[in-house]
Amino acid sequence: MNLAISLLKIFRMKSILGIGNALVDVMTIIDDDTILEKYSLPKGSMTLVDKKKSQQVKKGTSGFKKSLASGGSAANTIHGLAMLNVNAGFIGSIGSDETGDFFENDMKKAGVNTILFRRNSITGTAVALISPDSERTFATHLGAAIELEAKDLKSEHFKPYNILYLEGYLINDKALVEKACRLAKKNKMEIALDLASYNVVNARINEFTDIINKYVDIIFANEDESKSFTGLKPEKALKMLADQCNIAVIKIGKEGSLIKRKEEVIKVGSLTVESKDTTGAGDLYASGFLYGYAKNLPLDKCGLLGSILAGHVIEIIGARIHDERWPEIRKHIFSSIKE
């Protein structure tokens, strides 16, 4: 019986728990980049702003076309995994307001097991400014999201899961990240970390280095983030990152992605699609990759599934793929696994 249980744990699909900033995205299409300069927002980055500046940016872009979507980097990834029928959970902090209700309902609708702490602060928002070249720049007011604390995390939150997925934005509270990692390892979980944004890496490189060396099994980074962390171009950065963990993944935009595990090095191409908005591309790449990894697929398949989801999300505005597109995407995913 013990052998049967052990084999079941090995071969069943892994379950995944995400922890991140629970935000609602305000997707805003801008006609040029002058608005970025006006509010000192580096193009392509995520910049933390206070409540006042968040309101200024929202007021200053009131004339542009907008849409709302629940978001946050790890939440996007976990949402994508749940839409692929993975047993997925999410821990975050939201306000006791309608925006918080919107976030929670959207996650539950996808099938995510939510562990959300309600606060008296307003739910965080991320104003995503989408340039004509489809690059996105975030002005993020964390609001209640930043009130998730190390003391909120309990071992029982982690027990049902095999993989912990962390967004790098959490590194601003290293105590929270470290406790999450300790609880994950206590429950024999693997840990995957996305480096989040190059300016966050620049500001917190020492904290990232410490957490990665102690705990991390899988690292996700884009070209800018990997360069900020290593000072190297993708091919050499890949080796340096892989030396610090089991699997390193560097996303290189239209060129696809690079993956390394020990001596195994793989390059995976991207889908040829018409890009409307790159918001969520990295998050959904992680969904696809981790879906393959949870099914114990080879790394080239994991990368391919990541590229498929990233390709689908950049065809639309926003970081969440619309519900009506998912049946087609699931067919694409399943057929790619069989090939």
The tokens for 277 are: 């908005």
pLDDT at 125: 92
pLDDT at 181: 98
Q: How far is CA 245 from the centre of its chain?
A: 18
pLDDT at 5: 40
Contact in structure between 129 and 139 (CB atoms under 8 Å): yes
The b/e string for 60-70 (b: 16+ C-beta within 10 A; e otherwise) is ebeeeebeebb
In terms of DSSP bridges, do strands 46-48 and 136-143 run parallel, antiparallel, or are they unpaired?
Answer: parallel
pLDDT at 321: 81
C-alpha torsion sign, points 213, 215, 218, 224: negative
Give the model confidence (pLDDT) of 256-310 as tens digits: 999 999 999 999 987 777 777 666 789 999 999 999 999 999 999 999 999 999 9
Contact in structure between 225 and 242 (CB atoms under 8 Å): no
pLDDT at 11: 52
| Span 98-108, average pLDDT | 93
Contact in structure between 141 and 51 (CB atoms under 8 Å): yes
Task: Name the residue with higher pLDDT: 69 or 114.
Answer: 114
For 13-20+71-113+146-338, give the CATH class.
alpha beta
| Span 20-47, average pLDDT | 91
Q: Does residue 15 surpass a pLDDT of 90? A: yes
pTM for this predicted structure: 0.87
| Spatial CB neighbours of 243, under 8 Å, sequence gap ≥ 6 | none
pLDDT tier at 138, thresholds 50, 70, 90: confident
Distance CA 110, CA 83 (A): 6
Domain map (residue ranges) of the chain: 13-20+71-113+146-338
| Percent of the chain predicted with pLDDT > 90 | 74
pLDDT at 237: 96
Give the model confidence (pLDDT) of 143-172 as tens digits: 999 999 999 999 999 999 999 999 999 999
Work out the mean pLDDT of the chain and round it to a whole number. Answer: 91
pLDDT tier at 236, thresholds 50, 70, 90: very high
Cα–Cα separations (whole angstroms), residue 114 to 94, 111, 143, 246, 319: 11, 9, 19, 28, 19
72 sits in the region (left: phi over 0; alpha: psi -120 to 50; else beta) called: left
Residue 253 parent element (H or E): none
